[in-house]
Amino acid sequence: MKIQGEIISGDNKGQYFMSLDIYKIQFMGILGFEPFPGTLNLKIDAGGAEKIGELMEKMDSVKGRGKFGDVKLIKARLDRDFEGALVFPVKTHHEPDVLEFISPLNLRKSLQLQDGDHVILEIFD
């Protein structure tokens, strides 16, 4: 599945949670990389949000567990070159049209991304 997203700023909560050892260790075991302490937030259209919602309904297993809440993961690739995953905290304040992508890199700096830039996500279900 491919979805286009627009880079948006977050509230920096992803940075906090991605810096916690409980999540870093689990994600390293599942994904094979230590995530950069932060998430790249992407706003998607309603059709993409509906597809993601359907995919989430099929996912019955939580991949990461921690005292701040459980997290589901879906492996994904950004712009065909950057491996990572979408994270879906069970407790979230994001609307369904906002996705959080994690990677071993600070993608904003590495790719010189700014709010309003568009990227393509390839999602592996």
Cβ atoms of 3 and 44 within 8 Å: the answer is: yes
pLDDT in tens, 15-59: 777 777 888 888 888 889 999 998 999 999 988 888 888 887 776
Which pTM does this prediction carry?
0.85
Question: Which among 121, 120, 12, 18 has a CA at the least distance from the CA of 71?
Answer: 18
pLDDT in tens, 91-107: 666 777 899 999 999 99
CA distances from 62 to 17, 66, 95, 115 (A): 16, 11, 20, 30
Q: Within 13 A of 123's CA, how many CA atoms are on the CB side?
A: 22
Separation between Cα atoms, residue 35 and residue 47, nearest integer Å:
28
| pLDDT > 70? residue 69 | no
Q: What is the mean pLDDT of residues 64-91?
A: 79
* pLDDT band (50, 70, 90) for residue 60: low
Domain architecture of the chain: domains with CATH: 2-123 (2.40.30.30)
